[in-house]
């Protein structure tokens, strides 16, 4: 149907595309820096996250942590009750022998303290808790972002 592709052979979609990424659990610190050079931080797809939002969010944390390191402060990570904190936990704690890139998903986040059977209610509860805890984390570690 497409002129010039009459003889083309199509393989299974997605079978050719391959992203390059660092084996983050084996090679990087928990805040995604080189082990021997703390101010060389990585973010985005290269670290083993998949997705535009995940990549952008790791870039934000890399920027926050570089600014903190340059001021002589320790790097920080959001709590694992938040999607971003849980994704960072995956990047540092995944088995390095079988490491694969990961999208943000509810399976990464800490469980709620009480069981919620309804899937929608559970996700809403996780999101509400995450928002509250992320704001508290932001206010404690990045007060300059509280004004944004």
pLDDT of residue 8: 81
pLDDT along the chain (148 residues), means of 10: 79 68 97 96 96 96 96 96 98 96 96 95 97 96 79
pLDDT of residue 122: 96
pLDDT of residue 132: 97
pLDDT of residue 145: 81
pLDDT of residue 9: 77
What domains are there in the chain, each with its CATH number? 24-146 (3.50.50.60)
Do 134 and 78 meet the contact criterion of CB atoms below 8 Å apart?
yes
pLDDT of residue 16: 60
Which alpha helices (H) appear in 74-118, and where do they start and end? Answer: 83-93
- The dihedrals phi and psi of 136, each to the nearest 5 degrees, come to -65, -40
Do 116 and 128 meet the contact criterion of CB atoms below 8 Å apart?
no
pLDDT of residue 6: 84
As a whole number of angstroms, the distance between CA 15 and CA 31 comes to 31
Do 136 and 83 meet the contact criterion of CB atoms below 8 Å apart?
no
As a whole number of angstroms, the distance between CA 105 and CA 117 comes to 18
Do 84 and 135 meet the contact criterion of CB atoms below 8 Å apart?
no
| pTM reported for the whole predicted model | 0.85
């Amino acid at each position: 149907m497409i002129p010039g592709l009459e003889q083309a052979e199509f393989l299974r979609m997605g079978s050719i595309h391959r992203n390059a990424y660092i084996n983050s659990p084996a090679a990087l610190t928990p805040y995604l820096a080189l082990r021997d050079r703390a101010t060389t931080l990585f973010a985005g797809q290269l670290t083993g996250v998949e997705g535009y939002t995940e990549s952008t969010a790791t870039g934000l944390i890399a920027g926050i942590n570089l600014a903190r390191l340059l001021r002589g402060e320790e790097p920080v990570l959001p709590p694992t009750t938040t999607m971003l904190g849980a994704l960072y936990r995956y990047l540092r704690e995944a088995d390095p022998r079988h490491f694969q890139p990961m999208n943000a998903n509810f399976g990464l986040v800490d469980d709620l303290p009480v069981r919620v059977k309804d899937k929608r209610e559970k996700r809403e509860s996780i999101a509400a808790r995450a928002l509250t805890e992320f704001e508290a984390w932001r206010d404690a570690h990045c007060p300059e972002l509280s004004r944004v």
